[in-house]
Homo-oligomer: A and B are copies of this chain.
Amino acid sequence: MCIAGGRIQELRGTGRLTTGVMTPASPTNEVRAHEHLFFEGDARDHIYIVESGWVKLYRTLIDGQRQIVGFANGGSVLGVEADTLHLNSCEAITDVTMRSIPASRLNGICRSDPALAEQVLRQIGRQLGAAQAQLATIGAQSAEQKLATFLLTIADLCEESLDREFDLPMRRGDMAEFLGLRLETVSRKMTEFQRRGWIKLTSLYHCRLLQRHVLEHLAQGGEADGAQMLQTG
């Protein structure tokens, strides 16, 4: 099913942690768009579970280059990769609500709250798989293929709503930093996709898939100029 053309599974809403699992006392925090939940190097005194909204996780190299290592929405667990210090920075890209769990409660969590522990375990496994899929995308695909993969992922995410139409919750620069490209390249490819009739951008942040099969072919490693896809052009 999900072969190596891999989608970013952490973007999916499936398997999310239900609030019912949480102990009633877990506090709910709210964070506004563009605020940071934590920075790389901060002490990790909590882990967080996103309830609604979107955040981006990223790392910064000393030369200023950034790499977004994941986007996360409802159900995702943040901060589990860290031991004592956060390894990523985390910034809300929309308004966000989340629950926080003190790091101290992680010790012995299996005994104290086995249901939560197993949910967390499953969720980390999912995130690991997503990170690996993203490795395959960044490491082995062309700019065109990366963008096709990315758009399909976001589209799948929103297929609960109107088919083939969805919001892109991040800017061009975020997409570029996620895919290991420059924002100019993302911009060029987006317009190219549109010019070829594969997608339609109704606004900068809203997209409609016109030729989903072409994108799927690309995302799985196919060429853009195959004759078999011109039949519908």
Contacts and interface: CB of A to CB of B under 8 A. Distances in A.
Nearest to A2: B87
Given A40-B4, A65-B221, A118-B110, A139 B180 contact: yes
A62 interface: yes
A41 B135 contact: no
Interface in A161-208: 177, 179-180
Contacts of A220: 61-63
A148 to B, nearest CB: 13
A223 to B, nearest CB: 9
A198 to B, nearest CB: 19
Q: Main secondary structure on chain A at its contact with chain B?
A: mixed
Nearest to A137: B67
Contact of A63 (B40, B67, B87, B221): B221
Interface of A: 1-6, 40-41, 57, 59-67, 69-70, 80-83, 85, 87-88, 108-111, 114, 117-118, 120-122, 124-129, 131-136, 138-141, 177, 179-180, 220-222
23 contacts: A3-B60, A4-B67, A5-B62, A61-B136, A63-B220, A63-B222, A65-B140, A65-B141, A65-B221, A66-B140, A67-B136, A69-B132, A80-B124, A81-B129, A81-B132, A82-B129, A83-B122, A108-B118, A114-B114, A121-B124, A131-B132, A138-B139, A139-B177
